[in-house]
Amino acid sequence: MDLLSNSTHERFIKQAIRLAEMGGGLEEIPVGAVVVKENNVIGRGYNQRESLKDPTAHAEMIAITAAANTIGDWRLTDCILYVTKEPCPMCAGAIINSRLKMVIFGTYDEEKGCCGSLYQLCGDPRFGNNISVRGGIFEDKCRELLKAFFKTKRKG
């Protein structure tokens, strides 16, 4: 059950949006993520696939790794991931493996989303997890970041 208020979710999604904007300014796909434990951000990330030449350098992966390093444990059982775009299969797998308790995201990804759109990997009982997922927080803003980025890319 989601016991946190909408204003709490909005506050952390806004931080993820700022990270997405930072990544977009660096010619990365504008997706940002933060991992939160007890209302404190313990991990941050934005897409860095281009700069790191690493196909796994998604915002979620970077934020999850940073959070695990911050607390000194790969188990993020009491943590929430906030991300501007619905996680892909790889990131959903990392969410399951890191044992996050909740994922809150901005815009849905109808092509590769694995937290409700294309598939609900995070809610698949065969993985033995109970991850709460909620999408659509600042959905318009998060979607517009992506649309503007790709519109500019197509012109260039």
Please spell the DSSP secondary structure of 96-113, one letter per residue: HHHT-SEEEEEE--TTT-
CA distance linking residue 92 with residue 103, whole number of Å: 9
Average pLDDT score over residue span 133-156: 93
For residue 6, name the pLDDT band (cuts at 50, 70, 90).
confident
Could you tell me if 42 and 71 are in contact, meaning their C-beta atoms sit under 8 angstroms apart?
Answer: yes
Domains, in order of start, for the chain: 6-149 (3.40.140.10)
pLDDT for position 153 = 82
**pLDDT above 60: residue 1:** no
> What is the structure's pLDDT at 5?
79
Residues 70 and 150: their CA atoms lie apart, in Å, by: 33
Nearest to 108 by CA among 97, 120, 93, 125: 120
The predicted model gives 75-94 an average pLDDT of 98
Phi, psi (rounded to 5 degrees) for 42: -115, -5
pLDDT at residue number 110? 94
Q: Catalytic residue at 60?
A: yes
Q: Residue 84 has which token pair?
A: 């501007």
pLDDT, tens only, 102-139? 999 999 999 999 999 999 999 888 988 889 999 999 99
Q: Which of 27, 38, 60, 144 is catalytic?
A: 60
Please tell me the predicted confidence (pLDDT) of residue 2: 52
